[in-house]
Amino acid sequence: MIQTTQVNKILVVDDDKDIVRLVRAYLEQSGFSVDTAYDGGSAMQKIRAETPQLIVLDLMLPDTDGWEITRTVRADPKLAALPIIMLTARADDVDKIVGLEIGADDYITKPFNPREVVARVRTVLRRMQTNGQTTENFKTLRSDALIMDIGRHEVLLDGQPIELTQTEFKLLQLLMENEGYAFTRSELVEKALGYEYDGLDRTLDSHIKNLRKKVETNPKEPRYIQTIYGVGYRFT
């Protein structure tokens, strides 16, 4: 029998109590500790007081919507790296892209299979994890004014710390570790985001856009993360 030595706490936020009950049941069956909230105000109180390892967040809430909660979390240095998976009732790509551009790590469209939620939670948490005491964890990557300290999970630009989401950190790490290599979109999605590639071009492009805003002096003329048209991206 497999024993879990560390239980990750997940905060599920949705005003639909049936959805919350269903998602909670599947997550708890999979070994997670689950807390719940049904509105934005309660969610923010629990986020600040208890700091869960991940938030499953509905976009449409009765008071503060999911976009505003995400902006608030990303603007707080103590919470900025907290992973967020958004739930949206609309299949409109605009909702998804906006969510990703303001800092969500992933999104799931309703209606969904609760097993998919569990799978996405595991994938995002896996991206957060490091490899214990391996030498790899203490590696520092450097390119001119941009420095990435893997062990400290820290990125500096011109000596100033940059707050990256877990997804942005993994993307930048993969690109910097393979300087000059032109990654296809499918390679980046599978190696950095942990998904089987299924045409998530716009999802990846949103994450790259966010990353450029943080590490590039002029995101429209990127110095570090270059677009290779017809292929994908490379770090130079």
Q: Tell me how many degrees the CA angle 2-132-27 measures, rounded to the nearest 5.
A: 40
Dump pLDDT digits (tens) for 108-163.
Answer: 888 889 999 998 898 888 876 643 333 344 478 888 888 888 777 888 888 888 88
Rounded Cα–Cα distance for residues 183 and 142 (Å): 19
- C-alpha gyration radius of the chain: 18
Q: Which of 45-49, 155-159, 202-206, 217-221 has the lowest mean pLDDT?
A: 202-206
Q: What is the pLDDT of residue 196?
A: 55
pLDDT of 227 over the 50 cut = yes
Nearest partner of 168 among 82, 76, 66, judged by Cα: 82
- Res 24: pLDDT: 95
CATH of domain 135-235: 1.10.10.10
Tell me if the pTM is above 0.85. no
Q: What is the mean pLDDT of residues 84-101?
A: 72
Residue position matching structure tokens 């990303």? 74
Cα 112 → chain centroid: 19
pLDDT score, position 134: 35
Residue 40 confidence class, pLDDT cut points 50, 70, 90: very high
- Return the closest-CA partner of residue 118 out of 10, 21, 7, 27: 27
CA 131 to mean position of chain CA atoms: 19
Secondary structure string (H, E, C) spanning the chain? CCCCCCCCEEEEECCCHHHHHHHHHHHHHCCCEEEEECCHHHHHHHHHHHCCCEEEEECCCCCCCHHHHHHHHHHCCCCCCCCEEEEECCCCHHHHHHHHHCCCCEEEECCCCHHHHHHHHHHHHHHHCCCCCCHHHHCEEEECCEEEECCCCEEEECCEEECCCHHHHHHHHHHHHCCCCCEEHHHHHHHHHCCCCCCCHHHHHHHHHHHHHHHCCCCCCCCCEEEECCCEEEEC
Between 38-52, 77-91, 122-136, 195-209, the lowest mean confidence (pLDDT) is in 122-136
For domain 9-128, give the CATH superfamily.
Answer: Response regulator (3.40.50.2300)
Please report, for residues 58, 131, 150, the alpha-carbon distance to residue 236 in angstroms, rounded to integers and kept in the order given.
37, 26, 19
Whether 147 contacts 155, CB under 8 Å: yes
Summarised one tens digit per residue, pLDDT across range 43-76 is 999 999 888 999 999 988 988 888 899 989 988 8
Instruction: Give CATH 3.40.50.2300 domain extents, the chain.
Output: 9-128
> What is the location of CATH 1.10.10.10 in the chain?
135-235
Q: What is the pLDDT of residue 236?
A: 87
> Which phi-psi region, left, alpha or beta, contains residue 158 (left: φ > 0; alpha: ψ -120 to 50)?
left
